[in-house]
Amino acid sequence: MSVASLRYAHAFADVASTAHLDAAAAQQQLQDFGDTLAGSQQLHEVLVNPSIANEQKLRVIDAIASRIGMFPQVRNFVAVIMQHQRLHEFSEILSEYRTVANEQSNMAEAEITSAHPLTADSRAELEAQVSRLAGGRIRATYKQDASLLGGAVVRIGSTVYDGSIRAQLQQLKQKMVNA
CA 155 vs CA 48, 140, 141: distances in Å? 36, 10, 10
CA dihedral for 85, 88, 91, 96, sign (positive or negative) = negative
Predicted confidence band of residue 107 (pLDDT cuts 50, 70, 90) = confident
Q: Is the pLDDT of residue 110 over 90?
A: no
CATH of the domain at 48: 1.10.520.20
Last residue within a domain, chosen from 62, 88, 103: 103
Are 53 and 13 members of one domain? Answer: yes
> Whole domain around residue 168: which residue ranges?
107-178
Predicted confidence band of residue 79 (pLDDT cuts 50, 70, 90) = very high
Share of the chain above pLDDT 70, in %: 99
Q: What is the mean pLDDT of residues 35-56?
A: 92
pLDDT digits (tens, 9 = 90+) for 126-175: 899 888 888 888 888 899 988 888 888 999 877 888 888 888 888 888 88
Number of structural domains (the chain) is 2
pTM above 0.95, yes or no: no
Q: Report the mean per-residue pLDDT for the chain.
A: 89
Asked if 115 contacts 144 with a C-beta cutoff of 8 angstroms, the reply is yes
Are 125 and 150 members of one domain? Answer: yes
